[in-house]
Structure 1
């Protein structure tokens, strides 16, 4: 009986944490982490500040958990395409074309990511998992390009440079997300990016989706 009560309490606590994290994401994304207080988060979540401190050690701990959760979701979205079915050229093409959908679904987190990576002074530590997110994307792109070269689909370019170039360009475009999100404009931009990279990488006779 005691075990069931503990399990129920844990579920309730986890549910409250997710509610608070969802509200915090909206506030952090809109105004920046430094400009949002625990009191404001508590007011919007309709909890006391004490309840928030029972859930999180503080605002930094809340932000770290939020960033970790959102990073995991974005990584999963990346890898679902990059490690999915299809040839290397098909998966790379689909990944670039799917970026507007990924950016739209995770727009609040992307804006927060941009703010926290683009505005912090060099002597201030970056949020946890930023390097992990970049590394995951780079490794997946490197694998696709390297395999595509070995199979004769792609030209003999330096796969490390090609992977970093694609990742850097996608990150740069993500920095341009504004409110409201203009998906049709983003789709047009990424279609041009897809054409640019696939045209440069594909060998004559290589498959283009």
Structure 2
């Protein structure tokens, strides 16, 4: 998809703050350092709309980005970051759970995992949570450029087996450095939003 416009519209905490314009929403979930901001920036061809940080745990709210006035990316707080207090983690967990189970316009969750390592227990718990609640899920394996091409399939197999990926759930190899997987990811996102990619955008 060719992105002409992208901006953050609100950082929300509770349901009454979610945008209610009926546009489809795509949530992005993953560990604090998995590269969610880099994924957003690559997908929308921006260098720094979503702030990347060397300090994990920076996103503490639900950040809603509107894309081309057609859909939202919703960046949710990263999990698995130890330097956050238990009470903060519990509050984030409740906020994320509320959005994922009650967000009326949520069409798909993009679960980002780091291709270099086997998915963590937190990744497995998140995937199980999404499956338990029948939330459509696409898995994006980031940082593919950090691994030799010949080893990609071996690492993807580890992702599949650790998460026990259900048949039919898309698994996309991605690199925010090279753009690998960007077109495939957009194609899948638009399908779940029931939007077609026009010829000039594909």
Whether these two folds match at TM > 0.5 is: no
How would you bin the TM-score normalised by the shorter chain? under 0.3
Q: Which structure carries more strand by proportion?
A: 2
Larger radius of gyration: 1
TM-score, normalization: structure 2? 0.25
